[in-house]
Amino acid sequence: MQRPVMPASRRILLAAAVAATTALVPLGTAAAPAAADQALTRQQQYAAAAAEFGVPESVLLGVSFLQSRWDTNAGTPSTGAGYGPMHLTDAAYVTALPGGTHHDAGTEDPRGDSARRTLAPAPPQADPAPSTQSLQTLDTAATLTGADEAALRSDTSTNIRGGAALLASYQRQIGAPVGAGTDPAAWYGAVARYSGAERTDAAAAFADEVFGTIAQGESRVTDDGQRVTLAGRAVRPQKSWLDLLGLLAPPRADGVECPSAISCEWIPAPYQDLGGGDYGNHDLANRSKQQKVEYILIHDTEGSYAGTVNMVQDPTYVSWHYTLRSSDGHIAQHVKTKDVAWHAGNWYVNSKSIGLEHEGFAAQGTWYTEAMYRTSSKLVRYLALRHGVPLDRAHIIGHDNVPGILPANVGGMHWDPGPYWDWSHYFDLLRAPELNTGTPLTGMVRIDPDFTTNRPAFTGCDTAGVPCPSRGSSSVVLRSAPSADAPLVNDIALRPDGSPATMHISDHGARASTGQTYALAGRSGDWTAIWYLGQKAWFHNPASAPTAKWTLGLVATPKAGKTTIPVYGRAYPEEAAYPEGVPYQPITPLQYTLSAGQRYSVGAVLPGEYYRAVSFDGSAPADRTVIKGDKKYVQIQFGHRIMYVDRADVDLVASPLGAPR
């Protein structure tokens, strides 16, 4: 079936156009605006802008890297309404959008517990007035440079000049020295202000990350093929300049669960009795003592940071543990990690996961900022070490990797953060790159396309059937035969009639994603087949530009004598494990089957568990109890989503030598 198309009005995360109020400071001896010279290399464009406006080149490069990694992103705005390598924000230009999150759309019940009533979608949330400093810098840059606003959005050289002019203006406003030859250490205040943050901790965290980048150095090829290098140099930033910005300095809340080097605040999700046996918006628990956290779940908000934070404070609806802001990476925590939030659409996964919402959109041509990637990765690494969660794609998963609990739920499950989330870069930031030591004979592949050059021809980002902007992706497309002309493979839960998947942006029924591991099912020339949803699925994997790496590990395969075995969306215990008075949660197979001879990568072996939590006061029989039985399950990478099989149905073996060809 065709997946829903998001309306164009949801393209970007702003509630209303805002006007610029940033004070302008004359640039004194800065040279007259020069015409954008695209004959210069990107490196030369940075050098020229730094010299023109009196900004140390290392500072300009460091700020730009933390916003965009020096990419152009095809002239499309970020999730924070920022354009170009310098992330000049233009809220007034970007299409307005009502507040809310992806939890107010679709058919997924975020709680995902068949023991309780289905949560209805919440009404959209109105956004507070946005900060002009963070969301409207482009017209200020236009005034400072004399450049056309359209050029600042679309022309890279002009955009870089605009960013340099802003930095110089911020530096002058606090009375700090200006000049390309000045000590970069004296630019700490201007860099902090560039973040747009209104709190000292968020502004300081952004500036610290920029100066860390300057110290470490960076070099990469941008999304439009330009090599840019920032040579590392030791700098001890003069942090006292931060005091002159006049930002809020609230104390850090006691008990907030974040690493100390990033900015976090506590905005609690209400745990509240609503009467009539109803309550919201999460469940108390005692993880990891009572049950183990197995997953950290990556979402995107499909709405603004402000609207998302508003929604999580609604006691009648859903919750998640953290929300991350795009512009500067600031984090709000809402639910303690020991407690169970309602976010994944699958109660088993909710009970065993921590959910992070990232300000952004899965489809509509926007991009995630480097500032948000970095704070997210630091938070996830901290949480993973604290709760014993492995840093791999079987445990650090997207909302799009969560299975439906019952056959009727599979088609309505959400698909964020989508194919434009850069999983490869994210795991590099987690300092957990995958180790690939296999060969074609070890029988497994780990999906790993080059994000920048891998650009599937998705459609429907704004309008059904219309091609999406060409941009890098973590997804590889799967076909029914080793040919670019072959139909895409079918997901029978999405299309019971057997029709193939489509290239519509939300139709993930024929896609594998970076870091996911699959068992090899065949090879033909430049094509590789994997076992996927009970069938062979082929993807283009030429040796000259591989989209996967050979690896090895454990695979699950049906025991001898079993023609097919069932596949499940949750790992619940057997009926005999439930105490008296507690309704049995049936172990219901999904639409899929796993046939003899097929093999699937093993993520974990898990005990059957059901977390019983159905009342506010804990007075229901066995309430707030983890019900455990003798049944064990094996988590497998069955398709795009993880799923579970009964441990008694499968053998676990090392990925075979001499895999089928």
- Beta carbons within 8 Å of 352's beta carbon, 6+ residues apart: 291, 292, 293, 294, 295, 609
Within this chain, do residues 277 and 189 fall inside the same structural domain, yes or no?
A: no
Residue 566 within a domain: yes
Q: Is the confidence at residue 17, as pLDDT, over 70?
A: no
Return the number of other C-beta atoms located less than 10 Å from residue 443's C-beta: 24
Q: Identify the residue with better confidence: 436 or 41.
A: 41
- The confidence band for 257, taking pLDDT boundaries of 50, 70 and 90, is very high
Q: Are strands 278-280 and 322-324 parallel, antiparallel or unpaired?
A: unpaired
**Token digits for 241?**
């300049």
- Beta carbons within 8 Å of 118's beta carbon, 6+ residues apart: 109, 111
**pTM for this entry:** 0.93
pLDDT at 20: 32
Residue that terminates a domain, selected from 245, 280, 297: 245
Residue that terminates a domain, selected from 418, 433, 448: 433
Q: Are 393 and 447 in contact (CB under 8 A)?
A: no
Residue 3 within a domain: no
Mean pLDDT over 267-288 rounds to 95
Q: Report how far residue 540's alpha carbon sits from residue 640's, in angstroms, rounded to the nearest whole number.
A: 17
Question: Which domain CATH number covers 150?
Answer: 1.10.530
- The confidence band for 160, taking pLDDT boundaries of 50, 70 and 90, is very high
Within this chain, do residues 515 and 380 fall inside the same structural domain, yes or no?
A: no
Residue 123 within a domain: no
Residue 361 within a domain: yes
Q: Considering the chain, what is the average pLDDT of its residues?
A: 90
What backbone phi and psi angles, to 5 degrees, belong to 80?
-110, 20
Within this chain, do residues 566 and 467 fall inside the same structural domain, yes or no?
A: yes
Within this chain, do residues 467 and 382 fall inside the same structural domain, yes or no?
A: no
Mean pLDDT over 318-329 rounds to 95
pLDDT at 8: 35
Residue 102 within a domain: no
Q: Is the confidence at residue 479, as pLDDT, over 70?
A: yes
Q: Report how far residue 338's alpha carbon sits from residue 63's, in angstroms, rounded to the nearest whole number.
A: 36
pLDDT at 135: 81
- Sheet of 642-646, strand order: 589-595, 564-568, 642-646, 625-637, 600-612, 554-558, 650-654
Residue 121 within a domain: no
Residue 101 within a domain: no
Question: Which domain CATH number covers 301?
Answer: 3.40.80.10
Within this chain, do residues 157 and 255 fall inside the same structural domain, yes or no?
A: no
303 forms beta bridges with 360
Q: Identify the residue with better confidence: 333 or 125.
A: 333
Within this chain, do residues 263 and 389 fall inside the same structural domain, yes or no?
A: yes
CA nearest neighbour of 180 among 49, 43, 45: 49
Within this chain, do residues 349 and 465 fall inside the same structural domain, yes or no?
A: no
Within this chain, do residues 476 and 621 fall inside the same structural domain, yes or no?
A: yes
Within this chain, do residues 326 and 382 fall inside the same structural domain, yes or no?
A: yes
Within this chain, do residues 263 and 321 fall inside the same structural domain, yes or no?
A: yes
Residue that terminates a domain, selected from 416, 433, 450: 433
The pLDDT tens digits of the residues spanning 168-224 come to: 999 999 999 999 999 999 999 999 999 999 999 999 999 999 999 999 999 999 999
Q: Is the confidence at residue 29, as pLDDT, over 50?
A: no
Q: Are 289 and 89 in contact (CB under 8 A)?
A: no
Q: Of all helices (H) and strands (E), which one includes residue 167?
A: helix 156-173
Residue 117 within a domain: no
Within this chain, do residues 377 and 486 fall inside the same structural domain, yes or no?
A: no
Domain count, the chain: 3
56 is in which domain, residue-wise?
8-91+130-245
Within this chain, do residues 398 and 318 fall inside the same structural domain, yes or no?
A: yes
- The confidence band for 33, taking pLDDT boundaries of 50, 70 and 90, is very low
- Beta carbons within 8 Å of 23's beta carbon, 6+ residues apart: 173
